[in-house]
Structure 1
Amino acid sequence: MARRSIAAAAPLAAAALTSAYLPAPAALATNGYFTHGVGLRAQGMAGVSIALPQDALAAATNPAGTALVGDRFDVEATWFRPDRGARISGNGFGADGSYDGNDDAWFLLPALGYSKALENGLSWGVALYGNGGMNTGYESNPFAAYGGTGTAGVDLAQLFLTPSVAWRVGNHSLGVAVTGAYQRFEARGLGPFDNPVFSSRPGAVTDLGHDESTGWGVKVGWHGQVTPTVALGATWSSKVAMDRFDDYAGLFADGGSFDIPENYGAGVSWQATPALTVAADWQHIRYGDIPAVANSLAPLLAGVPLGADNGPGFGWKDRDVWKLGVRYRVNATLTLRAGYSTMDQPIPANETFINILAPGVIDEHASIGASWRPRGDEGGEWTFAYTRALENTVRGNGSIPPAFGGGEADLTMHQDILAVGYSWRF
């Protein structure tokens, strides 16, 4: 009776949490501004999940996983503490100094997933999660030498609701999902750019509070158990076409356009022994297809203002992420996990000046995690994961244009990410 009650209540809980969470999502930045992994078990393996679905949030990465995780309801919360900052040197306008971007010291991000098996190999599920964002808050404004006042920074947060359907035929599963996305954005302290020289729409650049946008995209995925011990997976997520941030039409290219990039990947999982599983993922993120993110700042000094069609941006590049994880089942009660991921951070050395606002320079993550079932294979399960986004510094090289006094801007960031959750199987 209790399990049936949980199963009936789970979709209602998802709707209630969505309603409660939409007004105030948090912001997270690890692989650029994508999170390193969705779902606690994936987080404990540095994000590995394409060929190794482990909970009802697996559909966020590969919707084929919905057919493989059974009937379950997962609730979790992730606490993260980013440490981000910048250093300016050699500037002719007096901007030199070290700047602490940690006005907001930590954030809390909830997530949940629900999955249910139907007849004839069909399953369905829904996942609610954050998959990206960026937050900085510089109480000492790095742009004060140019006339900036107050706290400088940005707050970009993204929330996703992904209902999925998957079909299992023999050793293969196919999945499809529709992703509804909500994002909000705020910019502060950017007064030096809010004028007819630098913006196509002065008055729509900074200090306007949070603006919101919504949009949708699709995901498809495949999972195949190709041998008794080896599984493969592949997944693709479309670009999510978002409404414009009208309040910031003078900051982002194309009048406030800020779509969410297409990404895709592949994975492999190998059950080396009955207790030990080794898995790896590759993910490609197409930041370069989003003008507001990918375009260089350089056209600003050639007369192309912020907010213009195909206007200046942050200069980010497409990036590949490589992830490796292990899972070891000690006994029916305890499972241990660990993982490592690496990428080439997306910010070129000559684009660090504008990226003081968005220093997503993390290259590496190291993770550990564990699951504990107090009653063995029966009943619910507690899971935790801890990830250290290792500190990385990108040193500017020709990064501050002569029109802004020249010199260099260096960016530094690291993060601590701690997550805990509980799962019911029914």
Structure 2
Amino acid sequence: MKTMYGTPRRTLILLSFFLIAAPLLSQTNEEVFREFQFNFSPPGARAKGMGSTFIALADDASATYANPAGLAFLRDPAITIEYSYTTKKEITGVVSGNINFGYTQEPVIDRDLSFFSLNYRFKEWYLALFGHNFLEEKQARSFTARSLSNGLEEIATLNVALGLNGKTYGFGLARRIGSWKAGMTIGLSNLAIDSRSQQQKLIILPQFSSETFTTEIHGREQALTWSAGLLWHASDQWSMGMVYRENPSFALHESIAAVTAGQPISSSTEDVNFVVPDTHGAGISYKPCPGLHFLLDWQHIQYTQIIEDGFTIVENIGIDQKAYYTTDDVDELHFGVEYLKPLNHAVLAFRTGYYRNPNHFIQYEGADSIQQSLFSRKRGDEESHITIGIGWSRKNQIEVDLAVDFWGDDLTVLASLLWRKK
């Protein structure tokens, strides 16, 4: 059981509308803690172009995340930076069932300097200072709902503004041991959150009344994270790697205010945790001939940690129960190919890859028909990613890589620049 400051992690889940196909499905700020599809892909345009496979190769600075054992490849001092650009389309629609509602999610464009690394070798120790953007999410959502059940007619509106930014800064260390390489990192993760949701409900029949429910989370929190990895070169053609990542859990505080017509304002503060699930994985690299690599990675993500130690459901404190909810850990398979073509004093690289992000949504198993309807709606198929990339390096000193990741109607573009001191 993972703990934070000696206290078991609690996950807050607010029951509301589970609607649309996007990386963050939750319709209120609290639901971030149950449905967020974290980015567990390694940084670097090179790895991204190969379907985010890198555990068994890990021979550039992005090894600080993919597999820190790979830092032992980096004999020369080097600087690496990465820039990312992500677009997500606007989503609108109408859903019918026990509750009828319409929704809108505004389009999103994110631009960020998402990774940097400074690498240096001291005798037989390979060192790195790095920064990695593990989370960048901005959303503005709104929806309206209308229900009529057992003579009770309700109209509800919900408006959500959400901003999340997560960065990790840390130190990496690796060493060669015969045909093996071993490495580890330790980092300080920082989470900045600025979030507000307001739900307004009008009860028309049998008697008119109104309710307003507002929740807010603002602030910055820090937590430690670490990872460890191994690489084994079985031959000139085969290599294998494995990695484990202990990801952070952040202690947050949520302000809650409820107003019912004719009643005093009810307010409180709940302690909640933002849980980043731990991961572990393994990979195989096969090099059938010079310049050609085939890569296969497996990654296990422990999404059950999101609800494992109990949680608070703000709208139904003391009524709803953890036993009504379930989710599963997931396994991701990533496949990638890299082909290197030597040129005069330079090398041109072509890359492609594929992976799927499996469904891992929390399901409701209680008897409430409304909640059954809300939680039964899934986001359709698993998220399929197709990646392509190209790279150019000169005299093994300067390297430029570009990659594009397509999933659905959305995409991410990465650009990486590497300089080595020769």
Please state which band the TM-score falls in when normalised by the shorter chain.
0.7 to 0.9
- Sort the Cα spacing of 1:75 and 1:311 in 2 relative to 1 into closer, same or farther, 3 A: farther
> Aligned to 1:422, what secondary structure does the other structure show?
strand
Q: Does 1:118 align with 2:122?
A: yes
Q: TM-score, normalised by structure 1?
A: 0.72
2:135 is aligned with 1:132:
yes
Larger radius of gyration: 2
> What is residue 105 of structure 2 aligned with on the other side?
101
Q: 1:325 matched to which residue of 2?
A: 336
- Count of residue pairs brought into register by the alignment: 353
Counting strand residues as a fraction of each chain, which structure ranks higher? Answer: 2
Distance across 1 between alignment mates of 2:309 and 2:333: 22
Cα offset, 1:104, TM superposition: 3.3
Cα deviation code 1:134-188 (max 9, x no counterpart): 44322x4346975435x42533332111311001112111111112111122333
Give the letter for the 1:279 counterpart: L
Cα distance in 2 for residues equivalent to 1:66 and 1:46: 21
Corresponding residue of 2:30: none
Give, in whole Å, the separation in 1 of the partners of 2:64 and 2:99.
50
Q: Deviations over 1:264-316 (max 9, x none)?
A: 000011111101011111111111112299979799498138xxxx6998x65
Paired letter, 1:115: N
Give the structure 2 partner of residue 79 of structure 1. Answer: 85
Asked if structure 2 preserves the Cα contact closer than 8 Å seen for 1:93 and 1:146, the reply is no
Indicate how the Cα distance of structure 1 residues 103 and 275 shifts in structure 2: closer, same or farther if over 3 A, else same.
Answer: closer
Contact 1:37-1:46 within 8 A present in 2 as well? no
Alpha-carbon distance, 1:380 to partner: 1.3
| Matching residue of 2:383 | 363
Show structure 1 runs of 5+ residues with no match.
Answer: 1-26, 194-201, 392-413
Matched, 1:89 2:95: yes
Alignment of 1:219-368 (within 5 A): 219-242=227-250, 244-247=251-254, 255-291=271-307, 300=316, 303-304=319-320, 316-331=327-342, 332-347=346-361, 353=374, 363-368=383-388
Q: Is the 8 A contact 1:300 1:312 kept in 2?
A: no
**In structure 1, what is the Cα distance between the partners aligned to 2:359 and 2:45?**
24
Q: In structure 2, how many angstroms separate the alpha carbons of the residues matched to 1:353 and 1:190?
A: 18
Q: Distance in 2 between matches of 1:360 and 1:316?
A: 16
Which deviations, in whole Å up to 9, do the C-alpha atoms of 1:308-349 show, x marking residues without a partner?
Answer: xx6998x65321111011111011331111111123221257
Aligned partners of 1:161 and 1:346: how far apart in 2?
28
Where in structure 2 are the equivalents of 1:11-90 lying within 5 Å? Answer: 32-70=37-75, 71-83=77-89, 85=91, 87-90=93-96
Moved more, 221-230 or 50-59: 50-59
Structure 2 residues not aligned, in runs of 5+: 1-21, 26-35, 147-153, 202-210, 258-268, 365-371
Percent identity, aligned pairs only, is 19
CA distance 1:266–1:57, shift in 2 (3 Å):
same
In 1, Cα distance between equivalents of 2:238 and 2:384: 26
Q: Is the 8 A contact 1:168 1:174 kept in 2?
A: yes
CA distance in 2, matches of 1:54, 1:205: 49
**How many angstroms does 1:35 deviate by?**
4.2
Tell me the TM-score normalized by structure 2: 0.72
Please tell me whether residue 148 in structure 1 is matched to residue 157 in structure 2.
Answer: yes
Change (3 A) 1:352 1:93: closer
Quick one: which amino acid aligns to residue 176 of structure 1? M
Distance 1:50 1:106, change over 3 A: same
110-119 vs 268-277, greater mean Cα deviation: 110-119
Maintained 8 Å contact 1:334/1:371:
yes
